[in-house]
Chains A and B, each alone.
Chain A
């Protein structure tokens, strides 16, 4: 339990550092948000008024503290370009991106884990080699290209879905989830190749360990050694990988939303970056940080459950 509290504390500290770095980085970018909002022919007086309204006239530490206090209560300020609350803009799109992430996480595990275990179980056979070759190729396909390939195969050729035909969950729940399956698959495929590879090589590594020999010397069947002894040990590095995979999946989702025309977080992030709408960018980055750090916290706790050596 002490371990968990310690981890929570370190998560909060990390989040704090992230918020500081991100806020300062975007606050010191050259360029005047008031100027870009009012246009180049605004008078000096109206600019000053605007700066005051936006809170830009205060020193940076005060702005940071104000922003932090707001952020803790869920208020991330107002968008420069849309004059609406950043929080409501994000909350609107968050469920879409979260669905995509959770979907792809599940698909990744469902494809990668069983195949990795199976390939290692069949190490050295023809089926193992076939899996390895396909996996090697799969690993080299970037998610946006796998998205294009999936569109070509399932959308254009087989007509399983209409490319660009995104429907929101409120209008057509079934349509929404059917449509989301394809982008999720595109994000998950390259990652499933990595988890397959990792599980495969850590299982093969376990095979050479001394305790495996001990297990055989007690009369275990090879199945009992493989599933009863090795699998839990080999899953330890895989669990660490899950945390990292999730971070990459967020990046993958941002891109894949463009391929499939999904109005999620990725799209607001991109337009905000192009419009230099920094409150939105900062808020989305902080949100991603919270998700990533939160999942890594869960991974750490899971890790502790699997590996008794951690945290003592």
Chain B
């Protein structure tokens, strides 16, 4: 019974991710049509065999745009997660393991940062750093550091008081060996599942920023920016918004189904 349920979540998650991430990956190198080429004859063209998602108000192929747009969204999310999690893990490990005044001070700042929604923090960062895909990556990465740091820190605090860490100390292991050889592998599951949740939050935040027009700038088109374009033609061409939005939902749903199984 339990086994079956595991497979259902896992398979559905994998299918959703395959349907979204494979086109995104392919979209880095090749799309059926140039996502930026406008064709007046195809303006608002409906769904056809040639244009499976139809065309937008400029006659651009929506499927091609979604392919390259999700590539940008996923790339930014990955960059964000990598940046935020590496720095967050290091800060969390150091403060959690050593404690002391540095820990107190950093956690105070962390509390302040965590009181703000990460999107708002990213907004502030973007207004400091400017718009554009690299700025968004950096802004979101910085905005996500506090939450990673807190998760890793509490794992380290929990584990450092366990007897096997004391045993490792008695076995002569140095502080860094204890932190990264003895403790880190045991914090792995928690870190991994927070990475997946973090990835989802990054997709959401990037899409949000770009939707507001202060994220990715033209000619780059991420899913969020496309959704805000599509919104202005909601009456005439609802397909554009629906396909783009559903791609975002599929990515997030796929990852959250998978992250359920990681736990």
Tell whether any CB of A sits under 8 Å from a CB of B in the complex: yes
For A245, give the chain B residue with the smallest CB separation: B117
Q: Are A251 and B119 in contact (CB under 8 A)?
A: yes
Q: A29–B204 Cα gap in the complex (Å)? A: 27
B238: interface (CB < 8 Å): yes
Interface-side segment among A77-85, A148-156, A217-225, A226-234 = A148-156
Q: Are A29 and B128 in contact (CB under 8 A)?
A: yes
Interface-side segment among B44-52, B64-72, B249-257 = B249-257
Q: Which single member of B126, B234, B248, B249 contacts A151 (CB below 8 Å)?
A: B234
Instruction: Assess A250 versus B120: contact at CB under 8 Å? Given A152-B234, A152-B238.
Output: yes
Contact with A along B128-154 (1 / 0, CB 8 A): 100000000000000000000000000
Instruction: Assess A148 versus B108: contact at CB under 8 Å? Given A247-B117, A251-B120, A270-B212.
Output: no
B116: interface (CB < 8 Å): yes
With a cutoff of 8 Å between Cβ atoms, the chain B residues found around residue A18 in the complex are 112, 115
A68: interface (CB < 8 Å): no
Q: Are B115 and A142 in contact (CB under 8 A)?
A: no
Instruction: Assess A136 versus B253: contact at CB under 8 Å? Given A145-B227, A273-B123, A289-B116.
Output: yes
Q: Are B112 and A21 in contact (CB under 8 A)?
A: yes
Contact with A along B228-257 (1 / 0, CB 8 A): 101100110010011001001110110011
B32-85 interface with A by 8 A CB criterion = none
With a cutoff of 8 Å between Cβ atoms, the chain A residues found around residue B230 in the complex are 148
B14: interface (CB < 8 Å): no
Q: Are A17 and B112 in contact (CB under 8 A)?
A: yes
For B214, give the chain A residue with the smallest CB separation: A273
Interface SS of chain A: helix, strand, loop or mixed?
A: helix
Q: Which single member of A140, A163, A248, A255 contacts B211 (CB below 8 Å)?
A: A255
Q: Are A140 and B256 in contact (CB under 8 A)?
A: yes
With a cutoff of 8 Å between Cβ atoms, the chain A residues found around residue B238 in the complex are 152, 156
Q: Which single member of B112, B207, B253 contacts A144 (CB below 8 Å)?
A: B207
Q: Are A254 and B120 in contact (CB under 8 A)?
A: yes
A212: interface (CB < 8 Å): no
With a cutoff of 8 Å between Cβ atoms, the chain B residues found around residue A144 in the complex are 207-208, 211, 224, 227
Instruction: Assess A247 versus B115: contact at CB under 8 Å? Given A17-B108, A139-B256.
Output: yes
Q: Are B257 and A136 in contact (CB under 8 A)?
A: yes
Q: Are A292 and B235 in contact (CB under 8 A)?
A: no
B75-130 interface with A by 8 A CB criterion = 108-109, 111-112, 115-120, 123-124, 126-128
Instruction: Assess A142 versus B248: contact at CB under 8 Å? Given A163-B234, A255-B208, A269-B123.
Output: yes
With a cutoff of 8 Å between Cβ atoms, the chain B residues found around residue A151 in the complex are 234
With a cutoff of 8 Å between Cβ atoms, the chain B residues found around residue A269 in the complex are 123
30 A-B pairs with C-beta separation under 8 A: A14-B115, A18-B112, A21-B109, A26-B128, A29-B128, A136-B256, A137-B253, A139-B252, A139-B253, A140-B250, A140-B256, A142-B208, A144-B207, A144-B211, A144-B227, A145-B248, A145-B249, A148-B230, A148-B245, A152-B234, A156-B238, A250-B117, A254-B212, A255-B119, A255-B208, A255-B212, A258-B212, A259-B231, A273-B126, A285-B124
Q: Which residues of A contact B (CB under 8 A)?
A: 14, 17-18, 21-22, 25-26, 29, 136-137, 139-142, 144-145, 148-149, 151-152, 156, 163, 247-248, 250-251, 254-255, 258-259, 269-270, 273-274, 276, 281, 285, 288-289, 292-293, 296
The 3 closest A-B pairs by CB, nearest first: A251-B117, A140-B253, A251-B119
